[in-house]
Amino acid sequence: MGLFKSVNQLGAWGHFKILGPIIIYASVLSVFPLGSSLWFLDGERFTSGPLTGGGVMASHTFLSLLLFYLYSFHLLRPIYCSFGSNGFETTSVPKEEEFSEELLLKPLPDYKVLAHFHFTSISPPSSSNGKHHHLFPKSIAQLVKKYKIRELELSFTQGRWNYDRWGASDPLSTANGKPPGVELWALFDIPTKEEIDATWRNLTHSLSGLFCASINFLESSTSYSAPLWGFLPNNGDLRYGALPREAVCTENLTPWLKLLPCRDKAGIASLLDRPSIYRGHYHSQRLKLRSDGLNGIVIEQTLSVVLQPIDRTSWSMHQLFKKSLTGKCALAKSSKVFLEIERSLVSQNENILELVGEADMVTNDQRDHSTIYQYNVERYSEHEALDIRVNWKKLLQVSFLQAPLHASRFLMGSGNERGSIAISLQSARNSTKGLYDNSKNCFTRVVILQVVPWYVKVYYHTLRIYVDGAIRDAKDVVEKINVTPSEDKVSPGTLEMMLQFPCGMMSAALILDFDKGFLHIDEYPPDANQGFDIPSALVSFPDFISRRIYPDSISSPLLQSYKGRNIVKSYTEVLLVPLTTPDFSMPYNVITFTCTVLALYFGSMVNVLRRRVSEEERLAKSKDKRKPGLIPLLISKISNKVRGIKEDSANQSQSSEPILGPKVVFKVVLIALIAVLGHYFFNSS
């Protein structure tokens, strides 16, 4: 660590640019045999977590890549500038690390409340602190540097976003709707496919250590895929994986909160009372980061919770979270709470809901879809906590902006042999008036990304497309298709499809047949009887952009992100496929059963073959006969013994004859006999 300090002492950044990499490279090379742990001396677990894990990557390649990375700032700047990615719109590059915290509350039509926490940390590319950070989480910075991540998003979700009721085409739902379980995707700045795969594997392990989750199950090539355009247009440097059954709980939230400078001790994050937020209907915790030479590293940490207020007609922040907001995190540049009211909730009758608490600013978005009430947290203190209260005067059932088509997915067929996956798209025309006309040349484009594990063997040639109930030739509808068939125990099947539907269409369905595969007995999970999950399919509508533009007077990273060109997309349900599961106790049963049968058979056979009944009978008879008195018994015993000795010695002599001379043997036997006789003689006398 001292090395970097000394580099810093060189002074100007310009110097560092030229000399830095060389110095770092040279000095680190000299130190390196000890593994990469050198870089991460911080005692904290989550900082040391990710890096040491992967420390086994060939050290020199790592260093040379690091060098490459440092130079890439320089070389790739024009490329970075031209690469516009959705979601992030950072207008100005700050000179220093920045952190801002925001909370957006939004009443939903079914009287639930969406609470969306949004934390942004920015680390400029030319940090004045060298390798050190004061607000930005170091573990993430190291992760980005080590794995050369350009973009990454990790989400932990419990429950399913209800696109019908909570909206599907506004920026908030587009960003919030995430598939259940864990979803991870990353774009790398690495040229070759093999290196990307290796980096992805290390990344999953690092994240698993960082967030206390089994993300490392995504390391196996059977669980991740590399979609080219179905998820996000890329040059093959994107990796995408999902774990639908991963549990999401406190232990995932805690390390996520530790990335914040104030953790959950102060500011908006202090509202996160675990029992309250995990009681919600939907819970999605995300970490999204983007890194480039121009803007440095930007992390967006968001947590969306859909809560059910106890009293449906009236709720307040304190009621929802069981905690009150008493001030901002001192390290945050801005700390704001927004209340967003959709126009559709209020426009019909102005007095339908009532707000208690004075907002600092009230604005509408450009298209007048919603009204935003802004509250600045720094105005509040322990004496006067911020508590927004909303009272409904009348209950009404409306729904928010829908996606052009409502997507759902289900299984067809029965039995353990084969089945079909169907994706159904229903038009939601009534809620998106004006988007369609019935002219012949109007088309709606739909992109479907479907990743299927290998043991569900999809026959892609069986694709059937129904439009308004009538089967259509695939050529007419499919504009672009990319299929990566699954390979047994190697890779999952990936289907990317761009479809063109006529605008007037009411419904469409896509059906694919599949066979169910067999797993090796060791590959079954402990609860195989529950079935196997097929991750959610992603249905996106590239022609529909969800954006909301607010006046520039509100400076908020959250509302800035609304301005981005977010494509409307929705995730379908997770499918549960029951596979043939063996009776796991069967091998044991078979072994015990066959062993018993064998033992019985073998025992009786041996008995039959080897038993000599007549001899046994004779023996028994002779035993019966021979019941003499004590003295004859003794005599017979003695005589036996004597005979036995004789025989023995005779045997011995016979066997040892070739070794010993006959004379010697004779002498020995004679002497032994004399000795024995003498013994008996003396004893008896």
Q: Which residues bind another protein (CB under 8 A)?
A: 30-31, 33-34, 38, 41, 43-46, 48-50, 52-57, 158, 201-202, 205-206, 208-210, 212-214, 216-217, 219, 246-251, 254-255, 264, 274-275, 277-279, 524-527, 584, 656, 659-661, 664, 667-668, 671-672, 675, 678-679, 682-683
Q: How far is the CB of 46 from another protein (least distance, A)?
A: 8
Between 85 and 214, whose beta carbon lies closer to another protein?
Answer: 214
Q: How far is the CB of 672 from another protein (least distance, A)?
A: 6
Residue listed under structure tokens 């024009």: 78
State both tokens at 580. 């043939």
Residue 75: CB atoms within 10 Å: 10
State both tokens at 127. 């940090």
Question: Which of 151, 155, 234 lies closest to 187, judged by CA?
Answer: 151
Q: How many angstroms separate the CA atoms of 620 and 51, rounded? A: 82
Check residue 41 and give left, alpha or beta (phi > 0: left; psi -120 to 50: alpha): alpha
Between 433 and 520, whose beta carbon lies closer to another protein?
Answer: 520
Between 412 and 638, whose beta carbon lies closer to another protein?
Answer: 638
DSSP 8-state secondary structure symbol assigned to residue 489: T
What secondary structure does DSSP assign to 336-388, as a single string?
EEEEEEEHHHHSS-GGGEEEES--SEEEE-TTSSEEEEEEEGGG--SSS-B--
Q: How far is the CB of 259 from another protein (least distance, A)?
A: 14
Q: How far is the CB of 30 from another protein (least distance, A)?
A: 5
Between 299 and 665, whose beta carbon lies closer to another protein?
Answer: 665
CB-based contact 540:447 (threshold 8 Å): yes
Q: How far is the CB of 423 from another protein (least distance, A)?
A: 26
Between 142 and 234, whose beta carbon lies closer to another protein?
Answer: 142
Between 115 and 447, whose beta carbon lies closer to another protein?
Answer: 115
Between 171 and 255, whose beta carbon lies closer to another protein?
Answer: 255
Q: How far is the CB of 524 from another protein (least distance, A)?
A: 8
Q: How far is the CB of 674 from another protein (least distance, A)?
A: 8
Q: Looking at this protein, which amino acid is placed at residue 311? A: D
Between 159 and 542, whose beta carbon lies closer to another protein?
Answer: 159
Q: Looking at this protein, which amino acid is placed at residue 434? A: G
- In this structure, the strands spanning 314-316 and 334-342 are unpaired
Residue 614: CB atoms within 10 Å: 7
State both tokens at 492. 């999952």
**DSSP H/E element including 559:** helix 557-563
Angstrom CA distances, 622 to 34, 611, 614, 638, stand at 85, 18, 12, 20
Residue listed under structure tokens 């680190």: 28
Between 272 and 447, whose beta carbon lies closer to another protein?
Answer: 272
Residue listed under structure tokens 């790592």: 62
Q: How far is the CB of 28 from another protein (least distance, A)?
A: 11
3-state helix, strand and coil shares in percent for the chain, rounded to the nearest 5: 35, 30, 35
Q: How many angstroms separate the CA atoms of 653 and 659, rounded? A: 10
Q: How far apart are the first and last CA of the chain?
A: 101
Using only C-alpha atoms, the chain has a radius of gyration, in whole angstroms, of: 39
CB-based contact 492:226 (threshold 8 Å): no
Question: Which of 482, 480, 494, 53 lies closest to 239, judged by CA?
Answer: 494
Q: Looking at this protein, which amino acid is placed at residue 496? A: E
Q: How far is the CB of 249 from another protein (least distance, A)?
A: 4
| Count, residues in the chain | 685
Between 637 and 679, whose beta carbon lies closer to another protein?
Answer: 679
Between 199 and 427, whose beta carbon lies closer to another protein?
Answer: 199
Q: How far is the CB of 246 from another protein (least distance, A)?
A: 7
Between 170 and 219, whose beta carbon lies closer to another protein?
Answer: 219
Helices and strands, counts by H and E, the chain: 19, 26
Q: How far is the CB of 43 from another protein (least distance, A)?
A: 8
Q: How far is the CB of 201 from another protein (least distance, A)?
A: 6
